[in-house]
Amino acid sequence: MTSEADTRANFIDPALVSAGWMSHQIIREYYFTDGRKLAGNQRASRCFVDYLLHKDNQHLAIIEAKKQSAHPTQGLQQAMDYAQKLNIRFIYSTNGEKIYEFDLESGKGKYIDSYPTPDELLARYADKTSDLGRELRNIPFHLESGMQPRYYQELAVHAATGAIGNGTERILLTLATGTGKTFIAFQIVHKLFQSRWNRHEVGKRRPRILFLADRNMLADQAINTFNPYENDLVKINGEEIRSRNGVVPTNAHIFFAIYQAIAERENIGGYYTKYPADFFDLILIDECHRGAANNEGSWRAILDYFSSAIHLGLTATPKRSDNVDTYHYFGKAVYEYSLKDGINDGFLTPYRVKRIRTNLDELVLTADDQIIKGEATQDVYETDDFDKNIVTDDRTELVAKAILNNINPLEKTIVFCTNQNHALTMRDMINTHKTVSDPCYCVRVTSDEGKAGRDLLERFQDNDRDIPTILTSSQMLTTGVDARNVRNIVLDRSIASMVEFKQIIGRGTRVFDGKDYFTIVDFRGASNRFYDEDWDGDPIDSPLDGHEPKPYGGNGKGEPTATTGGENEPKEKLTVKLSASREIKVIDVDIRYIDETGRPLTAEQFIEKLMTKLPSLFTSPKQLRETWSDPDQREQLIQKLAQTGFDAEQLATLRRMFAAEACDLFDLLAFIAFEQPMETRRKRAEATRQNKAFFEQFEKQAARDFLNFVLGRYEETGITELARNRMPALIELSGLGTTRDASRAFGGSPVKVLTAFKQLQHELYHCA
């Protein structure tokens, strides 16, 4: 019977050669994702296609190969999904005998006799690309040694240069935080430079480009990315202009500026007006949702002045009710890559939600509580009121202690507070109760700190440093913090909009070695936004508290209310010292895991999802028992469980839900899948010890003692002690000696030791 490999070698390869395809135009087994990150430094399966056909840097088609006995379109649906990710129009699915062609643009398919030639296939895309677009596409990326762009970065660059080639005036790229927007911007600029494109005389000179940001750290990070053109770039700021006796720099091609430095302010004229209105050919606007498109926004005057330039906006936030102006200005994004896509592809880190409730989430003041300042104007104060309408250090201290209790001591953590004073108090409370002695363990980083704060932030971003470990902030760190090893995002403030929420979550998504996930620790119910219709995916009902999510921080339309505005708050707030007789405590810690759709799973949903996955892994109690009895097959099954989305930590959570901590994982799976009764590890081990016939087959007492030792370790710790790679350590811990000593105890052969180790496990799962 032929295999898929036979189909490729005997049918597809010769057919492609006959159609004129050269070896450099064919990529076999094209892997384009890294696989979703799982616990234990594991990853889910990577996405790949059997064949990728391309010409002139244009992906043209994919081929799905099936064995000869299979239906020719058996793998078509998955191939369609991959083609959509890769922005490929044509799919071919074949078993060698028949070739089926499917066109995603028309939505129709048909059987064909032979593959089209490279030129024929390229011609089908010709109406989508201008001559300039093709020229820009064919300019190679500028890559450092060994570096390769990710598939979505290539697509984003080609989409932008294609739009420029087509004469589009306003262009938007939407890519999740941590996916390399600045790298994409650099590659676009590189291609324009190499082609000597400009708005006036293409080919005569290189373009003049303005990279506009709203924060120095964003501009500085971009400058670092553009380092290959360091001799051709300049940063426009007051210091630079003063060094030139008040004259703006013009002797460069790439200009970086934060809009505050060049915009018109009070009695100071804007530096941007010192340039001719047609000076720039392209303006790149980083984080363009932060006001660039708003008619009243501070950036708008600059963009209007340079209206003849092409404006290319970069943002991490898809179209929402609170950034609709951005999309009205730029139009529909020419390319989008979502947070959900980044996580499922393995280029971003997954997250879990740890929602913590305290008995101060609703506060009713009593006569025993001391009002230090202000006047009580409400009967009940809720989480949204704290640190805006009422200040009580008792709650901040409780939250600080809960933070320390719910993170590992040296995990990089960002705590988002209501305002700068709240961030100060939170820092002080954390430092009061911390176990790490370093004075910079927890620091505040807000705009008030100035250079000292930026220095601390740089140290926090250094992945080789543990200190500072915790940053407290309010608004400053919602964007621009490129810290790959952030393990916890703590929310102790209301989130004014979905755009801001996505930006804050993005602080933890960057991939780092050994970082399987990051945790969102939520004290204010802000994670309810995962259930909003504006989050990735379709709208879903929130199971939290049985109610629809509140519009945290605003009027429900993403517009800040009078009490949400960060620093613009009443000077005197109600400040209260709670009565010493009050019992202040955390009353609930609820952990939610995020599935591949980006939705937090309740405990019930978690179980339901697990139950639907199990039939694909084993079909009967007997099959499960036989698989689990063999250490090698068991390890493969555990890996499959992890790849399905259920890693060791999640399975441990499931065991706690069923009060099955004393049971074997086998028993829990058999109970959920087949309603088999659960047994404890102790009972299984004891039943095995009673099997005299099994132990008497080993002549030497040392062999029997070793097997009993293994049973004891299993009783105490669980199946981790039954893995094949644990054998050498178990031999040493048991006092048996070396592996050679163990071989003598079992009859002189290492193979006999392994055989006995496996036989013991067979008895363990068949006796009880």
* CA atoms of 702 and 458, how far apart (whole Å): 59
Q: Do 696 and 663 have their domain in common?
A: no
Residues 359 and 508 in one domain: yes
Beta strand 518-522 with 351-358: parallel, antiparallel or unpaired? Answer: parallel
Q: In the chain, what is the greatest distance between 2 CA atoms, to the nearest angstrom?
A: 98
Q: What is the pLDDT of residues 238-260, one digit of tens each?
A: 788 888 888 888 889 999 888 77
Q: Are 616 and 579 in the same domain?
A: no
Tell me the C-alpha distance between 390 and 388, whole Å.
6
Within a domain: residue 344?
Answer: no
630, pLDDT greater than 90: yes
At residue 127, the pLDDT reads 77
Element housing 624 (H / E): helix 621-629
Q: How many domains does the chain have?
A: 5
372 pLDDT exceeds 90? yes
Same-domain status, 371 and 479: yes
**284 beta partners:** 211, 312
CA quadruple 630, 636, 637, 642: dihedral sign:
positive
Q: In 3-state terms, what secondary structure has residue 5? A: helix
- Tell me the C-alpha distance between 98 and 3, whole Å: 15
pLDDT at position 566, please?
43
Judge whether residue 605 has pLDDT over 60.
yes
**Partner residues linked to 108 by β-bridges:** 103
Residue 349 has pLDDT above 70, yes or no: yes
663 and 678 in contact (C-beta within 8 Å)? yes
User: What pLDDT band is residue 600 in, cutting at 50, 70 and 90?
Assistant: confident
Contact 758, 764 (CB under 8 A): no
Give the C-alpha distances (Å, rounded to integers) separating 285 from 31, 289, 414.
32, 9, 26
Confidence grade of residue 41 (pLDDT, cut at 50, 70, 90): confident
* 60 residue type, one letter: L
Q: Average pLDDT in the 409-422 region?
A: 94
Q: Which range has highest mean pLDDT (293-297, 430-434, 471-475)?
A: 430-434
pLDDT beyond 50 at 430: yes
One-character DSSP codes across 411-441: SEEEEEESSHHHHHHHHHHHHHH-S---TTS
Examine the pLDDT at 441 and tell me if it is beyond 90: yes
Q: What is the pLDDT of residue 153?
A: 97
Same structural domain for residues 135 and 124? no
Q: Report the distance separating Cα 344 and Cα 367, nearest Å.
A: 53
DSSP string, 690-751: T-HHHHHTS-SHHHHHHHHHHHHHHHHH-GGGGSGGGHHHHHHHTT--SHHHHHHHTTS-HH
CATH of the domain at 25: 3.90.1570.30
pLDDT, tens only, 568-583: 444 578 999 999 999 9
Name the residue among 453, 450, 434 with its Cα closest to residue 442.
Answer: 434
Tell me: do 212 and 241 sit in the same domain.
yes
Q: How far is CA 411 from CA 357, 404, 496, 515, 577, in A?
A: 22, 10, 27, 10, 32
Asked whether residue 349 is domain-assigned, the answer is: no
Q: Looking at the structure, tell me whether residues 280 and 380 fall in a common domain.
A: no
C-alpha 763/C-alpha 676 separation (Å) is 18
Query: Would 346 be classed as within a structural domain?
Result: no
What is the number of H-type helices and E-type strands within the chain? Answer: 28, 28
Residue, of 568 and 759, whose pLDDT is higher:
759
Mean of the pLDDT values across residues 493-514?
87
Determine the pLDDT at residue 533.
66
Q: Residue 431 above 60 pLDDT?
A: yes
The pLDDT of residue 43 is above 70:
yes
User: Model confidence at 491, in pLDDT bands (50, 70, 90)?
Assistant: very high
Task: Calculate the CA 739 to chain-centre distance.
Answer: 44
What gap in Å lies between CA 671 and CA 608, rounded to an integer?
Answer: 14
Same domain (yes/no): 528, 579: yes
DSSP class of 144: -
Cα separation, 687 vs 159, in Å, equals 66
Higher pLDDT, 506 or 475: 506
431 shares a domain with 296: no
Tell me whether residue 659 is in a domain: yes
pTM given for the model: 0.80
Give domain status of residue 154, yes or no: yes
- In the block, tokens 């109970």 appear at 671
Backbone CA torsion sign across 370, 374, 376, 378? negative
Is pLDDT above 90 for 270?
Answer: no
Write the CA distances from 364 to 108, 361, 578, integer angstroms. 65, 10, 10
Q: In what order do the strands lie in the sheet with 58-65?
A: 26-31, 48-55, 58-65, 90-94, 99-103, 108-112
105, 137: one domain: no
Flag whether 343 is in a domain.
no
Residue by residue, DSSP assigns 273-285 as: GGS-TT--SEEEE
Q: Which of 93, 109, 128 is the last residue of a domain?
A: 128
Residue ranges making up the domain that contains 688: 683-767
What mean pLDDT value characterizes the chain? 86
454 torsion bin: left (phi>0), alpha (psi -120 to 50), beta (else):
alpha
Name the nearest CA neighbour of 138 among 104, 160, 161, 113. Answer: 161
> What are φ and ψ of residue 485, in 5° steps?
-100, 25
Contacts of 391 (CB under 8 A, 6+ apart): 421, 422, 573, 574, 575, 576
| Per-residue pLDDT reduced to its tens digit, 158-210 | 999 999 999 999 999 999 988 999 999 999 999 999 999 998 877 788 999 99
Note the pLDDT tens digit of each residue in 509-539. 999 988 988 999 999 998 888 877 666 643 3
% of the chain residues with pLDDT over 90: 55
144 and 179, same domain (yes or no) = yes
> Is 17's pLDDT higher than 90?
yes
Statement: residue 543 has pLDDT above 70: no
Q: In the predicted model, what is the mean pLDDT of residues 619-643?
A: 89
**The domain boundary residue, chosen from 678, 701, 724:** 678
Residue 155 in tokens: 């697509």
pLDDT reported for residue 559: 33
Does a structural domain hold residue 669?
yes
Token output for 602: 């309740």
Paired with 351 in beta bridges are: 518
The pLDDT of residue 714: 94
SS3 623: helix
**What percent of the chain stands above pLDDT 70?**
90
Asked whether residue 422 is assigned to any structural domain, the reply reads: yes
The answer to whether residues 545 and 624 belong to one domain is: no
Pairwise pLDDT comparison (333 vs 565), residue with the higher score = 333
Q: Where are the alpha helices (DSSP H) in 166-299?
A: 181-195, 216-225, 238-243, 259-262
Local structure of residue 535 (DSSP, 8 states): S
Higher pLDDT, 501 or 537: 501
Cα separation, 617 vs 610, in Å, equals 11
Choose the final residue of a domain: 661, 678, 695: 678
For residue 481, pLDDT beyond 70 = no
Rounded to whole angstroms, the Cα distance separating 696 from 665 reads: 29
pLDDT tens figures, 285-334: 988 876 655 555 567 888 999 999 999 999 887 776 666 778 888 999 99
> From the CA atom positions of the chain, what is the Rg in Å?
31
